[in-house]
């Protein structure tokens, strides 16, 4: 990992942890309350309004990057965990790496899996009951699509 990515990762992780805590929320509420109470002192001027608008815009802009970094980290960790469960479990290894497929390929894979589940009596997206029938391999159904992701 490069030095620039490392400092950002450390900063983003720390900021994400801190931003999600009650004291930080209380601080944000306090800032807004103090700003609101200071309105009469500044005659509710345009500058007084600009202070809160600018402050919240800057915080929102920076939080977008922190939230995205946190989402990326969480998604990568979940993907690694799922891949390990697939690898060590009784599920088909052909599904490892399908997160690299494009949207059309994922939609095609989903349609094939739902069709296979319907043919073999498994529950579908609408919650219909599973009959316990197993039938053919999911890996065979989705092999052309899932194979691309494992190359």
What are the pLDDT digits (tens) for 74-127? 888 888 888 778 777 776 777 777 877 888 888 888 888 888 878 876 554 555
What residue spans define the domains of the chain?
3-88, 93-149
Burial class (CB in 10 A: 0-12, 13-18, 19+), 138: buried
Q: Tell which residue, 96, 88, 79, 102, has the closest CA to residue 138.
A: 96
125-149 tens-digit pLDDT = 555 444 433 344 444 444 444 544 4
For the cut 90, the answer to whether the pLDDT of residue 70 exceeds it is no
- Of 50 and 97, more confident: 50
Residue with tokens 């053919």: 136
């Amino acid at each position: 990992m490069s030095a620039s990515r490392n400092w950002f990762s450390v900063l983003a992780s720390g900021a994400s942890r801190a931003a999600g805590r009650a004291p930080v929320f209380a601080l944000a509420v306090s800032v807004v309350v103090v700003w609101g109470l200071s309105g009469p002192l500044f005659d509710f001027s345009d500058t007084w309004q600009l202070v809160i608008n600018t402050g919240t815009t800057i915080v929102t802009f920076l939080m977008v990057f922190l939230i995205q970094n946190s989402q990326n980290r969480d998604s990568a960790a979940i993907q690694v965990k799922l891949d390990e469960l697939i690898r060590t479990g009784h599920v088909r290894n052909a599904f490892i790496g399908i997160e690299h497929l494009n949207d059309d390929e994922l939609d095609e894979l989903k349609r094939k899996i739902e069709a296979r589940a319907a043919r073999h009596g498994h529950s579908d997206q609408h919650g219909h009951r599973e009959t316990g029938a197993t039938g053919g391999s999911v890996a065979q159904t989705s092999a052309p699509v899932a194979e691309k992701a494992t190359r």
